[in-house]
Chain A
Amino acid sequence: SAVISQKPSRDICQRGTSLTIQCQVDSQVTMMFWYRQQPGQSLTLIATANQGSEATYESGFVIDKFPISRPNLTFSTLTVSNMSPEDSSIYLCSVYGGELFFGEGSRLTVL
């Protein structure tokens, strides 16, 4: 199992601004996964954060919009850039060990 801490837990942001979400894991992991759930939608994978290399983005997600850092084996950040109301979502970081272990999520509301 893994214990994952995320912050902020929630925030209200203005259109056009950017926000960085931090994710800390209590053990060293090679890959971390960032998911998003828009209102009424499924949890969707944004990207895989690999330590020592660039993140791998899923179809429909781009680095300019969701830059990811992975400075070490226990930490990652996801930035949501130039936010619009459509970015209002719950963002979750996770690690995989036969099942996904999630942080508690960051609930962003963009006005």
Chain B
Amino acid sequence: ILNVEQSPQSLHVQEGDSTNFTCSFPSSNFYALHWYRWETAKSPEALFVMTLNGDEKKKGRISATLNTKEGYSYLYIKGSQPEDSATYLCAFRYRDGGTSYGKLTFGQGTILTVHP
């Protein structure tokens, strides 16, 4: 059983605050680590797909880092805005010669609320 854990479960911040979340995952048989944003009544949307140890990716005010040796990833949001309010999910894909195609193990998510 693959265990993917996210912390914190929920977070309330003020507009303009910077924040970060953690995702921990198995450090063996690693293939990729995904981050998704899921806004209420919308589809989950991919933010990043990270595959290499030490990867850092950035999209606007959001960035992520990856440590595959110790099995964790951080997602950072700089200068949070109310429109950043959503559930942030990380998901792990294990290495298995192709049979894990499309099969991601998700964490429970971090619910972010940004107050104006």
A13 lies within 8 A of chain B by Cβ: no
Pair B108/A40 contact, Cβ less than 8 Å: yes
Pair B108/A42 contact, Cβ less than 8 Å: yes
Distance, CA A16 to CA B55, complexed state (A)? 49
Pair A102/B43 contact, Cβ less than 8 Å: yes
Closest to B47 in A: A99
User: A100 with B34: in contact, given A31-B102, A43-B89, A92-B44 (CB under 8 Å)?
Assistant: yes
Interface string of A85-111 (1 = CB under 8 A from B): 000000010111011111111000000
Distance, CA A38 to CA B45, complexed state (A)? 19
Size of the A side of the interface (Cβ < 8 Å), in residues, is: 23
A19 lies within 8 A of chain B by Cβ: no
Give min CB distance, A8 to chain B, whole Å: 14
Classify the interface of chain B: helix, strand, loop or mixed. Answer: loop
Distance, CA A41 to CA B34, complexed state (A)? 18
Closest to A32 in B: B102
How extensive is the interface on chain B, given as a class? 20 to 34
Pair A102/B109 contact, Cβ less than 8 Å: no
Pair A45/B4 contact, Cβ less than 8 Å: no
Closest to B104 in A: A100
B106 lies within 8 A of chain A by Cβ: yes
A33 lies within 8 A of chain B by Cβ: yes
Distance, CA A48 to CA B102, complexed state (A)? 8
What residues of B have a CB within 8 angstroms of the CB of A27 in the complex? none
**Per a CB cutoff under 8 Å, which of A33, A42, A104 touches B106?**
A42
B49, B101, B106 interface centre (most CB from chain A within 10 Å): B106
Distance, CA A42 to CA B89, complexed state (A)? 9
Interface string of B35-48 (1 = CB under 8 A from A): 01000011111100
A and B contact pairs by CB, cutoff 8 A, 23 listed: A4-B43, A31-B101, A31-B102, A33-B103, A41-B108, A42-B107, A43-B89, A43-B106, A44-B106, A45-B104, A48-B102, A92-B43, A96-B101, A98-B49, A99-B46, A99-B49, A100-B36, A100-B91, A100-B102, A101-B43, A102-B43, A102-B44, A104-B43
Footprint of A on B, CB under 8 Å? 4, 34, 36, 41-46, 49, 89, 91, 101-109
